[in-house]
C-alpha cells in the first residue's frame, strides 16, 4: 500500500504467488471516507486479464469469485487501519532516516518493471 503526496487515495497492489512467479494486481484504490472507514475502487476484471492468465487454474477460479473481492475488502481494510496506527507511532523515525520512502519507491519501481516485462513478453 502506498499513498503518494497530493493524492487523496491509497494505492493498493495485491501480490499472488503463482507457479510462474509473483503476479501483481494493480490499480486498486482505497479512500478513507471517514476515519476508520475505507472504500475500495477495484478495476474491472478485464484489466487484469494478462495477470490472471499467469495464475494456475485454481487461482484463476478464486480470483473471479465474489468471495475473493469480499476477502480483499476485509483484508485491505484491516491492513489500512493497522498501517494508520503504525504510521502514527513511527512517523518521526521514518522522517529522520528517509529509508522507508526510498525503499517504497524501489519496491514500486520493481513492481512496475516486472509488469512491463511481462506485458512485452506476452505480446511477442
Q: How do residues 50-102 score in pLDDT, each as one tens digit?
A: 999 999 888 888 888 888 888 888 888 888 887 766 654 433 333 333 444 55
pLDDT greater than 60 at residue 110: no
Looking at the domain assignment, is residue 4 inside a domain?
Answer: no
**Comparison of pLDDT for 86 and 24, the residue scoring more:** 24
> What's this model's pTM, rounded to 2 decimal places?
0.61
Domain that holds residue 84: 10-123
Q: 31 has which bridge partners?
A: 39
Question: Using an 8 Å Cβ cutoff, are 14 and 25 in contact?
Answer: yes
Looking at the domain assignment, is residue 5 inside a domain?
Answer: no
Confidence of residue 6 (pLDDT cuts 50, 70, 90): low
Looking at the domain assignment, is residue 71 inside a domain?
Answer: yes
105-112: Cβ within 8 A, 24+ apart: 108/2, 111/13, 111/24, 111/26
Looking at the domain assignment, is residue 2 inside a domain?
Answer: no
* Res 94: pLDDT: 35
Domain count, the chain: 1
Question: Using an 8 Å Cβ cutoff, are 8 and 19 in contact?
Answer: no
**Per-residue cell: 84:** 494508520
Amino acid at each position: 500500500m502506498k499513498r503518494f503526496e497530493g493524492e487523496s487515495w491509497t494505492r493498493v497492489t495485491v501480490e499472488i504467488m503463482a507457479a510462474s512467479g509473483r503476479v501483481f494486481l494493480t490499480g486498486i484504490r482505497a479512500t478513507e471516507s471517514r476515519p476508520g472507514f475505507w472504500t475500495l475502487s477495484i478495476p474491472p476484471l478485464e484489466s487484469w486479464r494478462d495477470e490472471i492468465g499467469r495464475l494456475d487454474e485454481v487461482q484463476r477460479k478464486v480470483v473471479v469469485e465474489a468471495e475473493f473481492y469480499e476477502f480483499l475488502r476485509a483484508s485491505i481494510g484491516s491492513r489500512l487501519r493497522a498501517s494508520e496506527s503504525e504510521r502514527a507511532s513511527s512517523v518521526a523515525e521514518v522522517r529522520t532516516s528517509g529509508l522507508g520512502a526510498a525503499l517504497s519507491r524501489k519496491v514500486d519501481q520493481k513492481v512496475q518493471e516486472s509488469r512491463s516485462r511481462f506485458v512485452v513478453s506476452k505480446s511477442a
